[in-house]
A and B are shown apart, each in its own frame.
Chain A
C-alpha cells in the first residue's frame, strides 16, 4: 500500500505537469480526489490495514494527500494567472485613439485681461463699482471739467442718442457718480464698456476701460505713481519699469501718461515701440479741484488721484492681434486660442 501511495503521488504530479486548462485540472482532480478517485480509493482501503500499519500508512496517506492538494492548488494558481494574463492581452486598446475630452469653455480674452486687472487692484483695496453706459453730457463731460466748447471734447468722438443722451466715451463718469454717493475715503475701480466713433485696425466703436479713483484726506501724486508701478509689475512682470510723462486730461491736474518698458524688446527699442523702448498703457493724474467742486467735496480737505486704461490695448500687448476688431467677431477659432 505504501508503494501504491507513492506511485499515486508520482503519477499525479507527472499528470499535473501536462495540465494546460482549468477543465483538464478539474478532471484530474476528480480522477484523484473524486468519490471514485484514486486517492479516495486508497484511503477507503485503510480500514483493512493492521493496527501496526495503520498509523504509518495513515500518516503517509495524509502527507501524500496534503502534498497533492498543495500541488493542485499551485497548478490552479498558475493556470489562473496565465488565464488573467491572456485575458488582459485581449483587452488592450489602441492608445493612439483620441481621448474623450470633457468640453470646457474659455472666458473672452478681453475679459481674461480685465479680470486680471481687477484682481490686482482689488488686492490693493480698490472696490469694483460700475455705472451706466448711456450717460448725460453732465456726467460724461461737464462734471469732468470739460465744458461744451472745450477743445478736449474733440479728443472724444461721441455717439449721441436721438433722445439727447450719449454713450459714455470713457468710464470716468462713474467717478462722479461714486463721489456723489459716498464721502471720502473712496477707493474704487470701474471696469466697463465705453464708446467712441472710431473703426479701424486699432479702434473698435465699443471698447473696455478700467478707471481707478482714490480720494482721501491726503493723497499724493507720489502715491499715484506707487499704485501704478505696483500694478505694472504685477501685470507685466517684476522687471517692468514705468515712466510718467506730463499730459493733459481736463479732469486731472497734474495729468500724466504712463509708459511701460516695451514688452517685445524689454526697452531696447524695436518696431512695436517706435524704437523708443516704451509703450503707453494708461492715463492718470491728481483729481482736478473742479471735479471735487462738481461733487461738493471740500477742495482743501481732500485730494485724490484717478487713472484709466484701455483693456483691449493691454490685452493686445500680450496677444498681438493685428486687427483688434477681431476681438468682437466671436469667431470660435479665435476664442479657443486664449
Chain B
C-alpha cells in the first residue's frame, strides 16, 4: 500500500523527515519497501501563460507560442497540441529539464523555427496517461512558479508492506495510529458536519440482511441530485499520488475514503435498484451478475451478494455490478458502507479469481466501527463535490455488534517472554498509546485488564499484547543473551554418516555435486527405457505444475543426471563427472539416494594427462570405493536385465540377496534420447539400505612381521568365465596363508586359443606366525594350480 508524507500529515503531526519516518515505521513492523520523491523529477517545469499564438510558417500542424514564464522576455515555443490557445495557463518544461518519461529539453529548431522549451501534456509530465492535449492549469496560479509547488506535488510516497495480521494499517488513519504509538501525538480525524435535508431515508429505501452470519453490519445513505463530473485537482492528486486511477467525483470520493479510513464503500445508482432497496443475501443457485469490469459471473449459493428486490447488484465486499454503477447520468446515489465476513469474502474472491482493494481489506478484516464515520465522511465529500443533498438519517443494520474484547495481561509474563525488565507502568503507557484501554484488575497480583479497540481485531490473547509491547518498546531495545537451558543429548544418525562419507569420497574421486529439482517430465521414464510395469513409473503428480517438465516428482535420480550431461554437452563441456544426493518420492516414502554419472572424457586433457573415455570399470570402481567407505565389505555384483542399461554392461550391487543399487553403461537408445554422442556410465544406490548394513567400527590389525612371498599365476580359461571364480578358489585353497590375490592382466587374442582368455594374478602368500619357506609356498601354489585345473579346467599359461 502507498501513502504520502503530506497526506499522512493531515491526520497527525510529526517532525520526522521522510527517511526518519521510513525508519520508524520499519522498526514498528510496517516495512517501507521504497521511498519516492514526487516533485524532484519535475524540477525545471514552471507555470507559463500562452500570450499569443501564430501559425508555423512551414508546418500546418504546429503553431508558434509566445509563452510568459515570469521572465523579462517571453519564450517562443513550438507546439502541436490541439488545445493550445491564447491566454491558456500550462506547464512549461524549460531548457535543461529532464522529464521523467525520458525527454531532455534542449534549445532546438522545429521546421526552421526556434523553440525554447516545451508546453507539456499530463502524459509528458508522467502524471497520467492523458496525452490528448496540454495540461490546463488554473489561471489564478502565479506565472513562473514551479509546477510542483503550484500543484502541491512536492511530496514523498512510501510503499508499505502491510503484513496480513494488520489490516488496520491498510489506511492512512491506520498508519497515523502507528505514528501515534511512536510519538504520542493525537490523531486528527476529518471534521464531518452533514447538512441533511428533510426527506427521511426510511421512506425511500430499506436494507434487509438475510445472511447476518456473513454480514455483521450494513449502513446506507442516499444522496440525491448529484452532478457527476471530474473531481477537483486536490482529490485527483491525492488518489494519483498513491496510484489509484481517477474515475468520477463519486467513485473518487469512495476511493479516497477507502484510503483514509480503510473502509471499502460502494455507490449504487439509486434509480437503477429494483424497488429501490437493498437485500443482503446468499446468491440463489444459477444466479449471475455482470460486474463492473463487464465480466459475467456465475454465482453459487455460498456467495454473499448485495441484491435489490430481484437481482444481485454487487458481490458483497468484492465488486459492484455493472448495471447499477454510477454513470454520467446518475442523479441519485445510494452509498453503501458495510462489514463482511472475512472467510466468505476470501472464498468468493478466490472462486471468482477477483482481487480488489475492497476484497483485500475485507479478507483481512475491517473494523465494523468504521462503517459510520466512513459513510458520513464520504457523504459529506459527495455533497460538497457534486452539489447533491443528503436525505435525513442513515440506515444502519448491525446484527453483528460485539462486546469489546478484554484480555488479562501479566506484566511479569511480558518480561518472562521477552527477557526484558520493563516496569508495569511502561507497559501501561505503551498499550495506551496504541489505543488499548488499561485497567488494573487485581492490585496485589499486578494483572492488567486490557480492552482491545475494535480496529485491532488481530489482538485476542495475552501473547498478542506482548508482541505489541515488544514492538513499540523496540526489538532493538530487548537485551541479547544466550540460551541458558540444557543442551539435549544428541542421537546418532547412521544415514547422515553414510551420506557424509560417500559424499566426501565422491568429491575426492573428482566428481562434482549437482542439485536438481525434485520435479521432472513424465516422459523421463520412457527416455531411460523403463519397462511399462516398472514400479518407478508410479510417480506423484502435481496438480498445479509450472510446466510439463516439472509436473511429477522423481522416483529416480538418473534422468536428472542425464539431463545435466546433456546440458553440459550442449555447452561443449564434455568431461562430465557428477553426482547427486537426494531423496526421491516412491510409494509414499522419501528414500535417500545417491547417484552419479561419468560421461565424455575423464583425465585432464592436457599433455601428460590425456583425456580418456570412462568405461564400466570406472563406475564400478567408484561404487566399490563408496561401499568401502561405509565399511561394507561382502558385496557382490550380478548382471541384470535393467532396460536402462547396456544388456552386457550393467550390474546390480547385492548384499546377500538384497539389492542396494545398480550401475552400468547407459543403453544406446538412452544416450540417443539425451542426445549424448558418447557413452555414459551411471550408478544409483539406496542409502537407507546401505545405512542398515554400514559399519564404521574399526579394529587394529597387526602389521605383518614375517615377509610375504609373491607368486604370479597366469591361467587360460573359457572366455565367458567370470574373473572372480579363480579368486574364490585361490582363497579357499590357501586359507589364511593367502593374503591377497590381484588380477593384473586379462588377455584375449592370438596368443591363446579362440574362445579362451588368459587371466594373470599376483598371489601374496603370508603367514602371521612364521616365515614361509620356499617349499611351503611351492606346495601351496601347486595345490592352487591343481584345484584351478580340476574345478575350472584352467590351464597354466607358460
Contact = CB atoms under 8 A, between A and B. Distances in A.
A289 B467 CA distance: 13
B416 A159 contact: no
A330 B163 CA distance: 36
Contacts, number: 242
B517 A205 contact: yes
B440 interface: no
Interface in A129-186: 132-134, 149-152, 154-155, 159-163, 165, 167, 182, 185-186
B541 A151 contact: no
Nearest to A216: B485
A72 B482 CA distance: 83
A134 B487 contact: no
A286 interface: yes
A219 B364 CA distance: 31
B412 interface: no
Contacts of A227: 482-483
B550 A205 contact: yes
B597 to A, nearest CB: 10
Given A100-B609, A186-B488, A330-B567, A286 B604 contact: no
Nearest to B602: A103
A232 to B, nearest CB: 11
Nearest to B550: A205
Given A127-B490, A248-B164, A328-B515, A221 B542 contact: no
Interface residues of A, number: 82
A205 B549 CA distance: 12
B27 A245 contact: yes
A94 to B, nearest CB: 10
Nearest to A155: B164
Contacts of A221: 417-419, 470, 478
Interface in B527-561: 540-546, 550, 553
Nearest to A208: B515
Interface string B741-756: 0000000000000000
B464 A253 contact: yes
B101 interface: no
A107 B543 CA distance: 33
Say whether chain A's binding surface is mostly helix, strand, loop, or mixed: mixed
Interface centre among A125, A151, A257, A333 (most CB of B within 10 A): A151
B506 A289 contact: no
B23 to A, nearest CB: 9
Contacts of B342: 149, 151
A274 to B, nearest CB: 7
A152 B485 contact: no
A97 B604 CA distance: 13
Contact of B466 (A219, A244, A254): A254
A161 B218 CA distance: 41
B646 to A, nearest CB: 24
B486 A105 contact: no
A254 B417 CA distance: 9
Contacts of A303: 416-417
Nearest to A288: B463
B363 interface: yes
Contact of A134 (B363, B503, B513, B540): B540
Contact of A222 (B461, B479, B542, B579): B479
For A98, A167, A243, A245, which residue has the most chain B Cβ atoms within 10 angstroms?
A245
Given A216-B485, A227-B482, A336 B512 contact: yes
Contacts of B478: 221-222, 225, 244
B163 A247 contact: yes
A73 interface: no
Interface stretch (B252-260, B391-399, B570-578): B570-578
Nearest to A303: B417
Contacts of A271: none
A128 B496 CA distance: 9
Interface in B165-219: 165-166
Given A149-B343, A248-B166, A331-B573, A222 B487 contact: no
A311 B511 CA distance: 23
A107 B517 contact: no
A328 B567 CA distance: 11
Nearest to B560: A330
Nearest to B573: A332
A127 to B, nearest CB: 5
A177 to B, nearest CB: 13
B541 A161 contact: yes
A98 B28 CA distance: 61
B702 to A, nearest CB: 31
A125 to B, nearest CB: 4
A217 interface: yes
A329 interface: yes
B514 interface: yes
Nearest to B363: A151
B518 interface: yes
B508 interface: yes
Contacts of A216: 483, 485-486
Nearest to A223: B483
A60 to B, nearest CB: 54
Interface in A211-240: 214, 216-223, 225-227, 229-230
Given A152-B165, A225-B479, A246-B475, 16 more contacts: A98-B604, A98-B607, A98-B609, A100-B604, A132-B590, A150-B164, A159-B544, A218-B485, A219-B483, A220-B481, A221-B478, A245-B29, A246-B28, A246-B470, A330-B564, A330-B567
7 contacts: A108-B512, A108-B513, A205-B517, A219-B483, A222-B479, A227-B482, A257-B31
Q: Which 7 A-B pairs have the closest CB atoms?
A: A103-B510, A222-B419, A246-B29, A220-B419, A248-B163, A125-B487, A254-B467
Interface of B: 26-29, 31, 34, 163-166, 342-343, 346-347, 363-364, 416-420, 461, 463-464, 466-467, 470-471, 475-476, 478-488, 490-491, 493, 496, 503, 506-519, 540-546, 550, 553, 564, 567-568, 571, 573, 575-579, 583, 585, 590, 602, 604, 606-609
